[in-house]
Amino acid sequence: MRSMYITKEAIIKREGNTLYLVRKDEKRSVPLHNVEDIICLAPVTFSSGAIRTVLKAGIVVHFFNSYGFYEGSLYPREKSISGEIIISQAKHYISWPKRKYIAVEMVEGIKHNIIRNLQKSGKDVGEYIEKIRGIEVEGDTIEEIMNREAQIWNNYYRSLEITLSHFLLKKREYRPPSNELNALISFGNTLLYSAVLTEIYHTYLNPSISYLHEPSARRFSLSLDIADIFKPTVVYRMIHHLVNHKIIQSEDFRREFNGVFLNEEGKRKFLREWESRMSSTIYHRRLKRKVSMKYLLRLEAYKLMKHVIGDKKYRAFRAWW
C-alpha cells in the first residue's frame, strides 16, 4: 500500500465504480486497491461520490494548505473498534502514574534517537551528546516532563549549526517558518503527523487520547505523541541528507507573508526523498524480518495498544541503525 500525493490543484470525482483525478490537461484513474492515504498539498475538490468511495475504501485523506501546514483529515469510520481497548486507553490517561510512565518512556525514546543522530553525524558534537545525556526525564506534572523534552530539543537545535553544511536555524519558529531550515522541519513534521494518523487508523487505538501531549478537540493528539518519537530518525536524518548533499538549496524556497516556504520544486524534491525513506526497509531484530519505515509507525501504535491492555510493557522506539 502506498500514499498518493497531490501537489497541483485537481478535482477527484467518481464515474461509475472508478475514481478519477481530473485537471485541465489530465484525467487519470486512482488505483484504490493500492492507496492507503491521499495527501492533498494543493487545493483539491472531492465530489460527493468520491468522498463516499474513499470512505468506503478506508482511505484517509489529509489536507494541507498552500504553505504546507496541516489543516485536517477526512477520517473514515473506524474499521477496527474495541470498547475494551478505548476504555483501557482512557484509564492510562486518567491515572497519573500510568500516564507518567508512557510520557516519560516517549521522551526517553526521543532522547535516545537524538543522541543516535548526533553519534552518526561524524561531527564534533560530543558536548551536545553529554548535555542531552545529562537531562533526567522526570517530573511530577506533564508540563515538567515536556519541559525536559524541550531542553533535549533545544540542545539538538544548537547542534545543527555543526552538523548541517548550510541553512542556519537560529531558533525554532513555526507559523510562519522564519527561514529555510524552519520550513524544512515544519513540512517534514506535518507529513510525519499525517503518516502516523494513517497508521493509527489501522489499529484499535483512539487517536484523540494521548499521554505526552494534552488531548485537544482540534487535533489527533496521539499522532503528535508518536510522531515526536520518530522525528529525529525520520525527519531530521532526511533533512541532513537533503541539505548536506545540496539536493535542496535556496532556490527551492519562496518568501511570502514574512515567512519562508518550500516552493513547488522544493516540495517535489522533499516528497521524492520522503517516499523513498518511508518505503525503505530495515531488518527488525525482534520480528526477524525486514519492515518498512512506515510500518514501524504502526508497530509503535501496536506496542502502545498492548501496553494499555496489560499484554506487554511499552518501550518507545529506539533507532538501532
The domain over range 2-74 is classified in CATH as 3.100.10.20 = yes
Task: Return the SS3 of 251.
Answer: helix
3-class DSSP state for residue 204?
Answer: coil
* Residue-level pLDDT at 218: 66
pLDDT at 34: 87
pLDDT in the model for residue 155: 97
Would you state the pLDDT for residue 305?
96
CB 119 within 8 A of CB 129: yes
Write down the residue that cell numbers 501496553 correspond to. 307
Summarised one tens digit per residue, pLDDT across range 109-132 is 999 999 999 999 999 999 999 999
Note the pLDDT of residue 147: 97
CATH architecture of 83-308: Up-down Bundle (1.20)
What pLDDT, on a 0 to 100 scale, did the predictor assign at position 16? 87
- Give the C-alpha separation, 43 to 64, whole Å: 8
Which residue ranges make up each domain of the chain? 2-74, 83-308
Q: Collect the ranges in the chain with pLDDT lower than 50.
A: none
Pairing of strands 259-262, 35-40: unpaired
Give the span between the Cα atoms of 17 and 192, in whole angstroms: 31
pTM: predicted TM-score of the whole model, two decimal places:
0.92
Element (H, E) at 117: helix 96-120
Element housing 259 (H / E): strand 259-262
Instruction: Convert the pLDDT of each residue in 258-276 to its tens digit.
Output: 899 999 999 999 999 999 9
Rounded distance, CA 75 to CA 208, Å?
Answer: 12
